[in-house]
C-alpha cells in the first residue's frame, strides 16, 4: 500500500489513495502508523475514497484510532494530492466528509502544482445540543465551565466537528498540555471536543493554540481556526475576515455574511512518499 506524508501548517497526515472503501482495520492501522516512535508518525491517517456525491470522499482516522468527522488541514492536503496527481482536471473540486457533507474546494496552482487551497467549510452549527453540548442555548457564547477547580468562559460551535473556544491572556504560552485534555473530556461535551485557546491581537488577527480531540496538541487545526474566527465574531472581538495564527503558521478565515459559510485559505505540502508494510 503506497502512502504520501503531507502536512498543513505542521498538522501532518499519512495519505492513502486507491482503496475501494475504508479498511476494516483502519483504526488499528492509524494507531500503529501514526506512532512517532514506532511508525511513520502523524496526527492522522487519511483515506481518499470514491464518492457518488463528490469528486472524492475523505475519511480521517485520528492517531488514537477514533474517526474525525472533518479536518480542515487534512482536506487541504487531500485537495492538493488529488490535483497534483491529476485525479481531476479542474482547479475546482468537491470532497465529501462524514461530518460536514460535500465541501467545495478551489485550488490556486502554479506549473500544475497546488500552492494554496481554499475550502468552503460550510455554515457553523451554533445550536448547543447539535454541537453537541449539554447546553440548550443558541448560540453558546461566554458560558462558564469549571475545569479542575478553574473557571473558564467558552464559546462552543461545530464546523462539522465540535469546538470549544476559550479566550486567554497569552495563547502562545498557555499551559496547553495541562488544560487541553481536561477541556476535551469535560462532561458538558458528550462527544468530547476540540479545545482552542485564543488571544485576540486586533480586529483582523488572532493567536490560537489547539488541543485536538483524539490527537492531542497539534501545530494547526483548520476547523479550529474557523471556529475561532466564528467565536471571535460572535463575541464582537474581530471582523468577519481575519488571520488566525497557529503554531505551524497562518490561515486566512472568512465568515461570509451573504451565505453564512466559512471559507478557509491556506497551504498544504508533500513531505515524502513510501510503501506501507503491514
For the annotated catalytic residues, the residue numbers are 71, 221
Decide: 220 and 10 in contact? Cβ < 8 Å.
yes
Question: How many CB atoms within 10 Å of residue 148?
Answer: 9
As a whole number of angstroms, the distance between CA 191 and CA 20 comes to: 29
- Give the start-end residues of each E strand in the chain: 2-8, 11-17, 44-49, 56-62, 67-68, 92-97, 101-110, 113-120, 140-147, 150-158, 162-167, 194-202, 205-212, 216-218, 241-246, 249-255, 262-266, 269-275
Q: Is residue 100 a contact partner of residue 162, using CB atoms and an 8 Å limit?
A: no
Amino acid at each position: 500500500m503506497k502512502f504520501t506524508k503531507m502536512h498543513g501548517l505542521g498538522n501532518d497526515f499519512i495519505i492513502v489513495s486507491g482503496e475501494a472503501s475504508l479498511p476494516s482495520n483502519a483504526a488499528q492501522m492509524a494507531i500503529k502508523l501514526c506512532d512517532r516512535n514506532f511508525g511513520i508518525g502523524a496526527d492522522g491517517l487519511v483515506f481518499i475514497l470514491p464518492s457518488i456525491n463528490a469528486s472524492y470522499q475523505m475519511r480521517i482516522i485520528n492517531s488514537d484510532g477514533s474517526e474525525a468527522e472533518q479536518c480542515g488541514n487534512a482536506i487541504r492536503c487531500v485537495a492538493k494530492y488529488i490535483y497534483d496527481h491529476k485525479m481531476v482536471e479542474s482547479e475546482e473540486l468537491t470532497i465529501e466528509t462524514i461530518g460536514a457533507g460535500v465541501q467545495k474546494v478551489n485550488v490556486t496552482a502554479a506549473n500544475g502544482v497546488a500552492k494554496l487551497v481554499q475550502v468552503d467549510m460550510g455554515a457553523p452549527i451554533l445550536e448547543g445540543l447539535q454541537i453537541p453540548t449539554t447546553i440548550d442555548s443558541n448560540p453558546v457564547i461566554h458560558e462558564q465551565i469549571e475545569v479542575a477547580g478553574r473557571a473558564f468562559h467558552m464559546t462552543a460551535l461545530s464546523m462539522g466537528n465540535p469546538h470549544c473556544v476559550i479566550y486567554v491572556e497569552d495563547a502562545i504560552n498557555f499551559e496547553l498540555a495541562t488544560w487541553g485534555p481536561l477541556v476535551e473530556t469535560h462532561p458538558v461535551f458528550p462527544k468530547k471536543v476540540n479545545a482552542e485557546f485564543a488571544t485576540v491581537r486586533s480586529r483582523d488577527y488572532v493567536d490560537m493554540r489547539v488541543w485536538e480531540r483524539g490527537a492531542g496538541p497539534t501545530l494547526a487545526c483548520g476547523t479550529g481556526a474557523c471556529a475561532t474566527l466564528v467565536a471571535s465574531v460572535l463575541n464582537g472581538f474581530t471582523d468577519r475576515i481575519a488571520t488566525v495564527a497557529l503554531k505551524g503558521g497562518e490561515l486566512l478565515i472568512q465568515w461570509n455574511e451573504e451565505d453564512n459559510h466559512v471559507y478557509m485559505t491556506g497551504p498544504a505540502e508533500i513531505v515524502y512518499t513510501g510503501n506501507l508494510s503491514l
